[in-house]
Amino acid sequence: MIVTTKELFQQAYGKYAIGAYNINNLEQTMGLFQGNVDSKAPFIVQLSKGARSYTHKRMLETMMQTAAEIFPEAVFAVHLDHGDEASCMDCIDSGVYSSVMIDASHEELEKNIEITKRVVEAAHAKGLVVEAELGLLKGVEEDIKSDGHVFTKPSEAEYFVKQTGVDSLACAIGTSHGAFKFAGEQKLRFDILEDIQKLLPGFPLVMHGSSSVPAEEVARINAAGGKINGASGVDASQFLGAAKLGVTKINIDTDGRLVWCRVHREFFRDHPEEFDLRGPGKVFIPEYAKFIAAKNVLLGSAGQLDEVRAALKK
Ligand code: G3H
Ligand code: 13P
Ligand code: ZN
């Protein structure tokens, strides 16, 4: 069943975070749905602009509708990740997405407000909800590069939310996208979340760039011929602390890519004579499902499905 992120956040707020997983293809879709159903977790499927051009955007939409039929137990939102105004409008008109992210965080505050407001108006008119972003994550967000963190300012967050009527807000607190998040020790600015929560009690916040980049996963990739050096990620034991401070959505893409990379490198190392794509695919789908289920335990969303379903019936 496709629901809005708002419906999921109402249940999760202050208790746990919903996993928002980026996917690009069929194997990830199958593993994602299986893993969430196995762990009885509500979840968010994130489709980026990159994903929508890699696997045609209409193909992804059809896959989401079909997955809802194949997995009738699944309760999930279909969300555009890091959209611009044009991609948001396209998703709003698709009839499949239940949520879009307008990322105008690289713009001046007032311009960000102006763009976000237009998307919120169009989305709300069709029953969709909107995530926006304030502050900049270090690194690359889609095709926009930022050399340093610009942490979200709590007073600006309050102003922005009130001006735009947005439904959730991605905040920059020191995470970044990709596999190379911290040079030394990880430093996350939970004090910023605390201050925002005081100004916007009950308002859902979002943490991007939250992959953990497990050392053992990277070691397996490198042992099978990879060359990923100096990678590091977010300590997953921080997730529930963030959830208490109003973070209801935690975004994970990189860790799933690492699972894909490990499975395929090991498969072809161990089966050099193989060339059927279904060989590694058959290993990947259950491995990805296992990865999703384990992540949901860390997020606290595992086991919440019955309660969410009951609340949706009311
Ligand atoms: O925030 C970025 C996500 O990890 C999506 O990555 O734009 O390469 O699909 P992508
Ligand atoms: P990671 O690169 O840490 O997985 O972050 C993904 C993300 O924030 C997608 O919007
Ligand atoms: Zn992101």
DSSP character string of 255-289 = HHHHHHHHHHHHHHHH-TT---THHHHHHHHHHHH
Count Cβ neighbours within 10 Å for each residue of 71-83 and write b for 16 or more, e otherwise.
Answer: beebbbbbbbbbb
| Residue 233 Cα distances to 55, 216, 277, 278, 310, angstroms | 27, 12, 30, 31, 35
Q: For atom 3 of ligand 2, which residue has the closest CA?
A: 209
- Closest atom of ligand 2 to 207 CA is 8
- Closest atom of ligand 2 to 256 CA is 4
The question of whether 81 is a catalytic residue gets the answer: yes
How many C-beta neighbours within 10 Å does residue 162 have?
Answer: 12
Residues with C-beta less than 6 Å from any ligand 1 atom = 22, 48, 50-51, 81-82, 141-142, 177, 253
pLDDT of residue 11: 97
Instruction: Identify the nearest ligand to the CA of 255 by its number.
Output: 2
pLDDT of residue 129: 98
**Phi, psi (rounded to 5 degrees) for 9:** -65, -35
pLDDT of residue 145: 58
Q: For atom 5 of ligand 2, which residue has the closest CA?
A: 209
Which of 21, 22, 145 should be mutated for ligand 1, with most atoms under 8 A from CB?
22
Query: Hunting for tokens 């050392």 — which residue is that?
Result: 215
Q: For atom 9 of ligand 2, which residue has the closest CA?
A: 251
pLDDT of residue 256: 98
Q: For atom 8 of ligand 1, which residue has the closest CA?
A: 50
Contacts of 22 (CB under 8 A, 6+ apart): 46, 47, 48, 51, 81, 251, 252, 253, 256
Residues with C-beta less than 6 Å from any ligand 2 atom = 22, 81-82, 177-178, 208-211, 251-254
Low-confidence ranges of the chain (pLDDT < 50): none
pLDDT of residue 50: 98
Contact between 74 and 1 (Cβ < 8 Å):
yes
* Ligand 1 centroid – CA 84 distance (Å): 13
* Ligand 3 centroid – CA 263 distance (Å): 24
Residues 81, 167, 195, 255: which is the catalytic one? 81
pLDDT of residue 143: 57
Domains of the chain, with CATH numbers? 5-313 (3.20.20.70)
Q: How far apart are CA 300 and CA 210, in angstroms?
A: 15
pTM: 0.97
Q: How far apart are CA 209 and CA 211, in angstroms?
A: 6
Q: For atom 3 of ligand 1, which residue has the closest CA?
A: 253
- Give the residues across from 138 on adjacent strands: 176
- Closest atom of ligand 1 to 48 CA is 9
Overall size of the chain counted in residues: 314
Burial class (CB in 10 A: 0-12, 13-18, 19+), 25: middle
At 15, which amino acid appears?
K
